[in-house]
Amino acid sequence: MKSKCLIKLMAGLVTTICLSAPICASASTVATPNVEPIAATDTVTNQIVKFDSINLRTVAYIHDGNNYWHSPYAVDEYNAYILVDNKSYDKTIVLHYIDADGVWKDSDKATYVKTRSDGKELWTIHGYFNGKAVFSVNYKEANAWDNNNGVNYTV
CA atoms within 13 A on the CB side of 79: 9
Looking at the domain assignment, is residue 10 inside a domain?
Answer: no
Mean pLDDT of the chain: 74
pLDDT of residue 86: 87
Looking at the domain assignment, is residue 8 inside a domain?
Answer: no
Looking at the domain assignment, is residue 104 inside a domain?
Answer: yes
CB atoms within 10 A of CB 27: 15
Which CATH number fits the domain that encloses residue 38?
2.60.40.2440
The model's pLDDT over 47-58, given as tens digits with 9 standing for 90+, comes to 899 999 999 888
Looking at the domain assignment, is residue 18 inside a domain?
Answer: no
DSSP assigned state of 92: -
Q: Give the number of domains in the chain.
A: 1
Asked whether residue 17 carries a pLDDT value surpassing 90, the answer given is no
Looking at the domain assignment, is residue 88 inside a domain?
Answer: yes
CB atoms within 10 A of CB 134: 17
pLDDT band for position 144 (cuts 50, 70, 90)? very high
Q: What percentage of residues in the chain have a pLDDT greater than 70?
A: 62
Looking at the domain assignment, is residue 13 inside a domain?
Answer: no
Between 29 and 89, name the one with better pLDDT.
89
Looking at the domain assignment, is residue 7 inside a domain?
Answer: no
The model's pLDDT over 57-67, given as tens digits with 9 standing for 90+, comes to 888 766 666 66
Looking at the domain assignment, is residue 5 inside a domain?
Answer: no
Domain boundaries, position 102: 23-154
CB atoms within 10 A of CB 96: 16
Question: How far is residue 128's CA from residue 149's CA, in Å, rounded to a whole number?
Answer: 24
Question: How far is residue 116's CA from residue 90's CA, in Å, rounded to a whole number?
Answer: 18
Q: What are phi and psi of 16, to 5 degrees?
A: -60, -45
What is the Cα 23 distance to its own chain's centre?
Answer: 21
